[in-house]
Amino acid sequence: MARMKKDPPKPTKKPAGPRSKSAAARGTKADPRSTAKKRARAKPGPETRPPRFTDFEALLPGCGRPDDTSILPDLGLSDLEPGRVPPREGPFGPALRPVLEGNGEGPRFSVQRFADELRRRLQGNCRGWAFVVNQNGQVAAEDSGGVAVAGTDLDGSGNPLTQRNMTPDVRLNIASVSKTITAVAILRLLREAGLGTEARIWPFLPRDWTLGPGVDGLRFHHLLTHQSGLTSTNGNFSQTLSDAGLQTAIAAGADPGADYNYLNANFALFRVILPLLWREAGLTTANNDNPVASAFFYAVYIIEEIFGRMGGVFGGNASTSPLDSNPTRYYQAANSAIGSAYGNWAMIAGGGGWHLSARELAAFLAFITYTDDILTPTQRIGMDQLLYGWQPPVASGFGSYLGHGGSISNNTNAPFPAVRTGIMKFNLQVEAAVVANSRITGSGDSATRLLREAYDAAWA
């Protein structure tokens, strides 16, 4: 897809009516509806993954609440609000002195053992699966098994489908792992627009939406950390995550800075917010005048400015809908004969919906961790320490692990097509991505728990 061309910046009017608040009231230096100066584009990355040049462990030995608040102004933050980061127990950072195989004394980590443990937990326990492990930003191990489409499956008309084996390059709906991608896009775009995560969100909502109580105090970091206090549910996606559903949630009001409450609507709202944020950064044609426009500009920005900067890894055709002629199907369990399709998520994307492969997810982790092509060093550290787009980290005897899981299914044992996905960053410059197109038997039916258990078992 060709890159969107930015129009020359033109002056725009401030919002009229009750939204015409002072810059001080908004918490921004200038009216967010005004047009910012164009920012120079960074050059695309190399055709292959770059060598590691950021020592992640040196910059971030743990994933706890930051002690050094000097990074906050660069993130657009004046201070950490009480309760900003969900409460969690330590230790954060390595509890043991880790060493690579053959180096020194103590526990030794092996990428091969990690891959073996992942394979053992996946093989035979889900319909189709794949994983990719990085070390130092490069692929260190990968494997797959099962099917993306079962030969026993039927389409909606009862016609048999052609079997398709699962591989690390097969795309599927990555569910809530999409939130981490959306968070990266928002952080990058805030910087391009000259704003920080303390900027208020209301100037970037459609003008015809009713703002309920407290919404004028909602800031970007409230959505990024699930502390918006919005009223919504994590089910019935076609309604709650649609523009109409999000409009209803905004009209009902918010409680900025509320206790952590994981809510898909927090990130689906970024689909609606992103177009006007992009407009602030210089693309004057961007708009959220209708649901189709919001979905279009949200997807195009991520395809061009996030995936497009990964040296051709994504091939330019990532999407919030299945594009393959024989797309991945989703099954209840490892032995299910008939599956189902999830279809197009373009109109409800943001908190879910991106269709990517295990290899693409691993590449995404490598590029946001070891390069400056997408995020600045300060943004990378801030994202990890303040949990922008991450779930609360899990601590073990070998450190704390930062990641995000994805899951679509019902909450009962009734037959329902499922997907399980997970990405995770470990110490020793190791990252991994795993995908499965059904429930997983064992590991609590959780891809992120499976990743953690396999990593811990890779030490000896």
Rg over alpha carbons for the chain, rounded to the nearest Å, is: 22
**Separation CA 186–CA 192 (nearest Å):** 10
Q: Which CATH number fits domain 44-457: 3.40.50.720, 3.90.480.20, 3.60.130.10, 3.40.710.10?
A: 3.40.710.10
- Say what the pLDDT of residue 130 is: 98
- Say what the pLDDT of residue 92 is: 29
- Say what the pLDDT of residue 398 is: 87
Average pLDDT value over all residues in the chain: 80
CA separation, residue 425 to residues 172, 313, 337, 409, 455 (Å): 21, 19, 34, 25, 10
Res. 425: pLDDT tops 60: yes
Q: How sure is the predictor about 63, in pLDDT bands with cuts at 50, 70 and 90? A: very low
- Say what the pLDDT of residue 8 is: 43
Res. 169: pLDDT tops 90: yes
**What stretches of 150-220 adopt beta strand conformation (E)?**
164-165, 172-173
Q: How sure is the predictor about 410, in pLDDT bands with cuts at 50, 70 and 90? A: low
349-400 confidence digits (pLDDT tens)? 999 999 999 999 999 999 999 999 999 999 999 999 999 999 999 888 788 8
Interval 156-168 mean pLDDT: 94
Q: Where are the domains of the chain?
A: 44-457
- Say what the pLDDT of residue 232 is: 84
Nearest alpha carbon to residue 451 among 434, 428, 437, 438: 434
The more confidently predicted of residues 239 and 41 is 239
249 by DSSP, 3-state: which? helix
Interval 223-227 mean pLDDT: 96
- Say what the pLDDT of residue 3 is: 53
| Number of residues in the chain | 460
- Say what the pLDDT of residue 91 is: 29
- Say what the pLDDT of residue 4 is: 56
Kindly provide the b/e burial profile for residues 23-56, where b requires at least 16 CB atoms within 10 angstroms of the residue's own CB: eeebbbeebbbebbeeeeeeeebeeebbebebeb
**Separation CA 423–CA 406 (nearest Å):** 9
**Which pTM value belongs to this model?**
0.80
- Say what the pLDDT of residue 123 is: 98
Q: Is 417:375 a contact under the CB 8 Å cutoff?
A: no
Res. 301: pLDDT tops 60: yes
User: Looking at this protein, which amino acid is placed at residue 403?
Assistant: G
